[in-house]
Structure 1
Amino acid sequence: MADNVQKSGNFFSNVVKELKRVSWPKRKELTRYTITVVFTVVFVTLFFGLVDQGLSWMIDTLFE
C-alpha cells in the first residue's frame, strides 16, 4: 500500500515538472488556433451533412 502511495506521489511530482517545461501558446496563437478549429469543424459538418442529404436523395430517387 505504501509503495503505491509513493509511486503516485512520484508520478504527480513528475507531472508538475513536465508542465513547467511546456511551452504554452500565447493568447494570440491560442485565439487563432481556436478559430481555425471551430471553422474546420463547421466546414466538415456542413460538407458531410450535404453529402448525406445528396446520397439520401439519390437512394430515394432510385428506389421509388
Structure 2
Amino acid sequence: MANAVKNTTKFLKDVSTEMKRVSWPKRKELVRYTIVVIATVAFIAVFFAIVDSGISALIRGILN
C-alpha cells in the first residue's frame, strides 16, 4: 500500500513537471485553431446532411 502511494505521488510530481514544460498556444493561435475546428465541423455536418438527404431521396424514389 505504501509503495502504491509512493508511486502515485511520484507520478503526479512527474505530470506537474511535464505540464510546466508544455508549450501552450498563444491567444491568437488558440482563436485561429478554434475557428478552424468549428468551420471543419460545420462543413462536415453540412456535407453529411446533403449526402443523407440524397440517399433518403434515392430510397424514397426506389420504394415508390
**If the TM-score is normalised by the length of the shorter chain, which range does it land in?**
over 0.9
Q: What's the CA shift string for 1:5-47, capped at 9, x where partnerless? A: 1110010000001001100000000000000000100110010
1:31 aligns with 2:31: yes
Runs of 4+ in structure 1 displaced over 3 angstroms? none
TM-score, normalised to structure 1, is: 0.96
Percentage of pairs with the same residue: 50
TM-score, normalised to structure 2, is: 0.96
Counterparts of 1:7-18 in structure 2 under 5 Å?
Answer: 7-18=7-18
Unpaired stretches in structure 2, ≥5 consecutive residues: none
Counterparts of 1:37-48 in structure 2 under 5 Å?
Answer: 37-48=37-48
Instruction: State the 1:53 CA deviation.
Output: 0.7
Aligned residues: 64
Unpaired stretches in structure 1, ≥5 consecutive residues: none
Tell me the SS of whatever aligns to 1:23: coil
